[in-house]
Amino acid sequence: MRLIIAEKPSLARAIADALPGKRRSVEGSIEVGDTTVTWCFGHLLEQAPPDAYDPRYKQWRLDHLPIVPSPWQLMPRPKARGQLAVIRRLLKASSEVVHAGDPDREGQLLVQEVIEHLRWRGPVKRLLISDLNRPAVAKALGRLEDNARYQPLYRAAETRARADWLYGINLTRAWTLTGRQAGHDGVLSVGRVQTPVLGLVVRRDREIADFTPRPFHVLWADFAVAHGQVRAWWQPGEQHPLDDQGRLLARAPAAALAVRLPGAEGRLSELDSRDKRQAPPLPYSLSALQVDAARRYKYSAKQVLDTCQALYERHTLITYPRSDCRYLPRGHHASLASALPTLGQVDATLAEWCRGADFTRRGRAFDDAKVGAHHALAPTGKIPDMARLSAPEANIYRLVVRNVLAQFHAHLETREVKACFEVLGERFAASGSEVLVAGWKPLFTTRDEPPPLPTLVRGEPARVTAAAVEDRETRPPEPFNDASLIKAMMNIGRYVDDPDVKRTLRESDGLGTEATRAGIIETLLERGYLVRVKSALRASRTGHALIASLPDPATRPERTALWEQRLSRIAEADDSEQAFLDALLGDLRSLLDAADAERMRQALGSAQGIEAPAPRRGGRKPAARRRGSNAAAGKTRRRRSSKASGGRQ
């Protein structure tokens, strides 16, 4: 018997549907001919808690740290024992096993750790599926690979899980116990990704709180030219008081010039006109979709992820959503060119976007060289019943289709004009843009474009018809929201000061992964470290105190982003997992030495921030309400062991 082990039930059903033969459902599996398909439902196994290695670790004590398991142990999750028993029984009757985890690092770990835990020693094939439509699944079934090829990917995922355990368990215990000495009664959770993300928000909140607005002044003038009128802005010279962005800090020079300008004769001294062509925005990765959906619809990152999962699993309308890629295989071009016009027949919005599309066009998104384990999100080609989709499902589906449809539209062509006027010995600048070919642009905006500049000729006379000074103030940075925080996690190099590290991180995948970024934000909200204020994400008082009490490197993104790079090298068989863990233990011991009750006391006493609301039903209790001994804290910690150590992150 051939046994296929899928990552989740929906994938197992899609595989069974694509197999030839009569289906028969048996407990925890589906039989089709001589093949049986069974499934996991997320991780069936989890890292064992500290007291599984030594009962004395039930009590949280600083002198136990660092806790370093040897050998490492996995244990069944409480609700997974029944399905593990099903898989164990099926393995005993199998001659061949097929690993059908999702095509990523965690998907490789999720199924393979079950196969190894149940001591299967026979051959294992690898089935990679990113599209649940029957033809795509059938095609994937015809090109199975040797799972040994993916062993480095598994080792990288296993190393990540162990490293997260070491980091989360040890630092959470250390800071919780130090917090208790300082008078904070509750768990203070520290993680290698969640804490730097919290650090981003805390530092942004501090910038906003410490911000002092400064007045600045701008002067505009309207110039009459042969073919119309142009508004231009004064460019004050260095003899005037300017800030580092060239803004005028004193009003008097602008006011004095404004009085002299009306009626003054000048000329158009400089004119630069350039035609530009802009390719369509690429299809979405998950994070890029989360950013756009948050901006357009105010959806949280988790809501977007959950909606994508429903469109992928329940409705089978889009391809695998947890992708970090924004390109499509060249082989998808023909099927999409055939399917997209049909999709336009069932939805007015899609129909409007299909107008003007040229389905023979092959946009830059179709590039095999830039597709890895995943490709960009795309419609599967299945005809949707829009009436059965919720409003968020319909909105997200349209966005996914739109960005793929854009690849079949012409480039946006514009004429960008920059003009400089000279009058009374001063320079005034104006700029404008004219759309020559709208191309893909109407798919992305319904706003009217501002009128272009009138026809201009270099050297032509220009007379000032009006002028005025506008008084403005510098503004603090905006607080983070779901869109900007996800974008910050994607482009984490922007928040790094060290130029060498910044250069290293420029091409990295950022902080967290496509699959985990939404969960990281939700975890920080559930633990009371972040608070949602309308659409903004602000740090709570506890969040501020935790960041202030930790060594600065533990709150910044450099370490975790470099972790991801090194894990990627392990996945490519270019680095050693043991060397990585040894280096981590050295860092961990230094961080543990920095745990200090006095620093914690000061941090708690001076913390600013927003009071976290009561937890949602079924959520974590506020730290102030949790009472008990070290042993009780240990029980609480064990119940959350996978979350504090990063879970699938």
Confidence of residue 105 (pLDDT cuts 50, 70, 90): confident
The packing angle between helices 286-297 and 391-405, to 10°, is: 120
Burial, 194: exposed, middle or buried (Cβ in 10 Å; 0-12, 13-18, 19+)? Answer: buried
Residue 322 counted as domain residue: yes
Same domain, 450 and 490: no
In the prediction, which pLDDT does 492 show?
83
Query: How much is the average pLDDT of 44-54?
Result: 96
**Mean pLDDT on 305-309:** 95
E strands of 475-587, at which residues?
530-533, 536-539
Long-range CB contact pairs, 585-589, < 8 A, 24+: 585/66, 585/68, 585/166, 587/559, 588/66, 588/166, 588/167, 588/170, 588/171, 589/66
Residue 527 lies in a domain: yes
Domain-embedded: residue 63? yes
**Count of structural domains, the chain:** 4
Which pLDDT score is estimated for 516? 86
Same domain membership, residue 73 and residue 47: yes
Buried b (16+ CB within 10 A) or exposed e, 252-262: ebbeebbeebe
Q: Cα angle at 149 between 146 and 154, to 5 degrees?
A: 115
Q: Can you give the CATH number for the domain in which 482 is found?
A: 1.10.460.10
Catalytic (active-site) positions: 320
What confidence score (pLDDT) does residue 633 get?
Answer: 36
The residue segments making up the domain with residue 339 are 286-408
483-527 tens-digit pLDDT? 999 999 988 888 887 776 676 666 556 788 887 899 999 999 999
The residue from 143, 177, 195 where one domain ends is 143
Half-sphere exposure of 177 (CA within 13 A, CB side): 20
Q: Tell me: pLDDT of 534 over 70.
A: yes
For residue 102, give the CATH number of its domain: 3.40.50.140
> Are residue 19 and residue 79 in the same domain, yes or no?
yes
Query: What confidence tier does 10 reach under pLDDT thresholds 50, 70, 90?
Result: confident
Task: Identify the pLDDT of residue 632.
Answer: 33
Please say whether the beta carbons of 328 and 378 come within 8 A.
yes
Q: How far apart are CA 24 and CA 10, in angstroms?
A: 16
Among 44-58, 254-268, 404-418, 569-583, the range scoring the smallest mean pLDDT is: 569-583
Residue 416 lies in a domain: no
* Residue 86 or residue 507, greater confidence: 86
Do 486 and 393 have their domain in common?
no
Output the pLDDT for position 568: 84
pLDDT band, residue 197 (cuts 50/70/90): very high
Residues 226 and 206 occupy one common structural domain: no
Which is more confident, 448 or 296?
Answer: 296
Residue 425 lies in a domain: no
Task: Indicate if 482 and 580 belong to the same structural domain.
Answer: yes
As a dihedral over the C-alpha atoms of residue 60, residue 64, residue 70, residue 75, rounded to 10 degrees, the angle is: 0
Give per-residue pLDDT as tens, 538-572.
999 999 999 999 999 999 988 877 787 788 889 88
Same domain, 502 and 374: no
Provide, rounded to the nearest whole percent, the portion of the chain with pLDDT above 90.
78
Question: Given pLDDT bands bounded at 50, 70 and 90, which one contains residue 584?
Answer: very high
pLDDT digits (tens, 9 = 90+) for 129-146: 877 778 889 999 999 999
- Tell me: the pLDDT tens digits for 381-428? 999 999 999 999 999 999 999 999 999 999 999 999 999 999 999 999
Q: Whose CA is closest to 232, among 487, 467, 561? A: 467
Mean pLDDT of the chain: 90
DSSP 410-438: PPEEEEEEEEEEEETTEEEEEEEEEEEE-
- pLDDT the model gives residue 301: 94
Residue 208 has pLDDT above 90, yes or no: yes
pLDDT of residue 504: 62
pLDDT digits (tens, 9 = 90+) for 588-644: 999 999 999 999 999 999 988 887 775 544 444 333 333 333 333 333 333 333 333
